[in-house]
Amino acid sequence: MDRFLYLAMSGAKENEYAQAINNNNLANANTHGFRQALGDAYTVPVRGPVYDSRDYVQTRDEAIDFSHGTLESTGRELDIAIEGDGFMVVRAPDGTETYTRAGDLHIDSLGMLRDARGLQVLGDGGPITLPPNETLLIGSDGTITVRPQGSGANALVAVERIRLVNPDVRTLKRGDDGLIRATNGQAQPADANVRVVTGMLETSNVNTVSALTRMIELSRHFEMQIKMMESANNVEQNHNRLLGIGGG
């Protein structure tokens, strides 16, 4: 009877985990540049002394869907979107490099360029700090050009370039803090082929209709597993009752 019960239990446990992944995707459906997570389930046999006794379901490490979102126009000079493959480099609170496609940037009170989460945007020389300016332009290669305050109309100065990289997505993972890093922890080299467009933002790649449908499907699977566990318990109680009658 333990086989029936534990098989149902393992199915319910992994369904619950898959639901958590799906719910997180839905919660970030409107987060610019977000990449949805995928839950990959597989069966694992329980090894017996002679034969494998039964199979349990397991979920592999969370995978990331790196398909692109759509580009939407904002007209804001500090909004950028990456064309095609690639990432912008930002610094996590722990000092490590992380990679993002969320290009809704802002300048803090100290002139430091940050992303929507407040993380420092990195350039070729480290964190980007901009001088007070009257005009700011971001080129397709990530070069930031400004017209300093009080200067002439043609006094444009290239101050820094946003570091753009294009690592193999198979070498990337998402940490517990939701940030994407290289699995080997090494900094990725800048890629001159990565291009950005200004006044645009990339949407999340989450399909809300599919995610809602998936949520309903997972809920039904979870309920089915719970019913199987209840059935296993009922069968066990009936067996105990019959054994009690036979023993009397």
Give the pLDDT score at 246: 52
Confidence band for 91, pLDDT divided at 50, 70 and 90: very high
Q: What is the pTM of this model?
A: 0.79
Cβ of 146: how many Cβ atoms within 10 Å? 20
Read off the DSSP letter of residue 76: -
Q: What is the pLDDT of residues 158-199, one digit of tens each?
A: 999 999 999 999 999 998 888 999 998 888 999 999 999 999
Contact 140, 196 (CB under 8 A): yes
pLDDT bracket for residue 46 (50, 70, 90): low
Q: What is the pairing mode between strands 113-114 and 63-64?
A: unpaired
Nearest-angstrom CA–CA distance, 114 and 198: 16
The predicted pLDDT at position 49 comes to: 65
Q: Are 241 and 3 in contact (CB under 8 A)?
A: no
**pLDDT at residue 50, as a whole number:** 60
CB 29 within 8 A of CB 78: no
pLDDT at res. 195? 96
Least confident of 34-38, 54-58, 103-107, 139-143: 54-58
CA atoms of 138 and 73, how far apart (whole Å) = 15
Quote the pLDDT of residue 245.
63
Residue with tokens 């329980």, as numbered in its chain: 46
Q: Of the given ranges (90-99, 161-170, 237-246), which has the lowest mean pLDDT?
A: 237-246
